Structure 1
Amino acid sequence: MFKKDETIKRMQRLQLNEESVSKEQIRMIRANIESKLDRDSNSFMLTSPTQEGEKSIISSKLALSFAEQGKKVLLVDANLRKPTLHNWFNLDNETGLTNVITREEDLQLHCKETLFPGLYLLPTGPIPLNLSDIWITKKINQLARKCQSEFEIVIYEAPPFLTVSDSHILVNHCDGVILVVRANKTKKEEALKTKEYIERTSQKILGVIYQTG
């Protein structure tokens, strides 16, 4: 666990840091998402073509922005290759997503309440030796249905789209996608290839976050 002063610093960065994406940008992104999602749609994932970038802090800030509106929000760390979301909220990663999928345990047992009212986190939980045991379409569909029925907004932080197949499976169980790209890091052909893949799934690209830092 983190020390108290480190926890405070992380909380402040989530709320105040303007380096990666400002509060006003987050509000604009949130409003754009709300305008594009259908009335019965409430889940989307953040991914990037290849680079991780600041995806974890952006998804955290976006989840916080929805929670500040009084919504019950679940932020899901679906990045089993590089789990980081629990660090931002000073929560343990002993149980989580993998427990719900592999052991079919109750979702609510592993959703962790953050210090921000209305915002819950489902960390990755223990990482299995064989990730193919997790990314099974039927199991992911069951997870997505549970999340969508128990929360008003569900945000998945997913691994880079072109690097591993995980995001290719998850995208079919979301209502839309936010693509995060980085100046001087993300290649144009990588971004276009990701866009083409996502469009083939008939999912909506709700927006693109362009990081200049």
Structure 2
Amino acid sequence: MDTLISHISPKSPISEAYRTLRTNIQFSDLDRNIKTIVFTSAMAGEGKTTTASNVGVVSAKAGKRVLIIDADLRKPSIHKMFKKVNAKGLSDALISDESPIRFVIPTEEPNLDLMLSGPIPPNPSEILGSKRMRALMDKLKDAYDLILIDAPPVGIVTDAQILSSFMDGTMLVLRVGHGDRKQTAYAVELLRNVNANLLGVVMNRLPINEGGYYKYKYYAYYGAAYGEEQETPKRGLFKKKRR
């Protein structure tokens, strides 16, 4: 777990940023019990897996019973983040009649469990949108306080759209300087097309020079979750509606 800053250095400024993100997510939609959250990105390499994993760690440290599911059935990476062997996981649980808890593995962090991707299936989108997937989530919600789902980039494949359509919330992770405004706007549009509850956007890889070290800073933009913003690429990603 040496790549998980929230685990190896819980008092660092970066870990504090993840705790702030965790708190912001908790207060993003007070009218709903946000228990299942999809983490996706516009394109590959924007940090969705790192963000989901560290939010999982800080949430577990806060006393919540947390499960991270690797639902990227095309290019899974949660097992690499936590240094686990991806021998069984979500794809196995979806075709098994056994309890999904049988496919969950613990981590070094108390209160934090993982459901890895398992073997790569030939039809990820169909599997993730199946009735079995919804039934599996219903069973897992009885066992955990918070379930974080690492999904593929929404701008590349439909998997994140499918998952976001029936999860409690979605976080869009963007890497500063990695993509462009059109890609970001397109990702937001895709999520809204399936009525996803977009809790916010996480901007990462903002450089901070402090003591000669390069650090990461995470900034979460909310407001879109409340329906007070609308997409306007000409003047920025979001613009206030007139009242």
User: If the TM-score is normalised by the length of the shorter chain, which range does it land in?
Assistant: 0.7 to 0.9
- The DSSP-based 3-state class of the residue aligned with 1:22 is helix
Comparing both structures, which one devotes a greater share of its residues to helix?
1
TM-score norm. by structure 2 comes to 0.77
Q: Which residue of 2 aligns with 1:4?
A: none
Give me the whole-angstrom Cα distance separating, in 1, the residues matched to 2:110 and 2:88.
Answer: 21
Measure how far apart 1:190 and its partner are.
1.2
Task: Tell me if 1:150 matches 2:150.
Answer: no
Structure 2 residue corresponding to 1:48, chosen from 8, 23, 41: 41
Deviations 1:13-54 (A, max 9, x none): 7533999x9112111111111002445331101100112322
Deviations 1:55-99 (A, max 9, x none): 222111100011011110000001111111112222221111011
Please state if 1:106 is matched with 2:99.
Answer: yes
Residue 127 of structure 2 corresponds to residue 116 of structure 1 = no
Gaps of 5+ in 2: 207-243
- Name the SS for the 1:193 alignment partner: helix
Cα deviation, 1:117-164, whole Å, max 9, x if unaligned, reads: 000000001112343552333122112212222110000011000111
Identity %: 28
Letter in 1 for 2:43: T
Larger RCO (CA under 8 A, 6+ residues apart): 1
CA contact (8 A) 1:99 1:105 kept: no
**Structure index of larger Rg:** 2
One of 152, 156, 161 as aligned partner of 1:159? 152
> Normalized per residue, which structure has more strand?
2
Decide whether aligned partners of structure 1 residues 204 and 135 sit closer, same or farther in structure 2, where only a CA change above 3 A counts: closer
TM-score w.r.t. length of structure 1: 0.87
Contact 2:107/2:113, CA 8 A, preserved across alignment: yes
Distance 1:84 1:152 in 2: 23
RMSD between superposed Cα atoms in Å: 2.3
For the 8 Å contact 2:169–2:196, the answer to whether it is kept is yes
Distance 2:151 2:124 in 1: 14
2:58 aligned to which of 65, 70, 84? 65
Question: What is the count of residue pairs matched by the alignment?
Answer: 205
Letter of the 1:70 counterpart: G
Structure 2 residue corresponding to 1:128, chosen from 111, 121, 146: 121
Alignment of 1:170-209 (within 5 A): 170-209=163-202
Q: Which runs of 5+ in 1 are unaligned?
A: 1-6
SS state at 1:36 partner: coil
Match of 2:17 in 1: 25
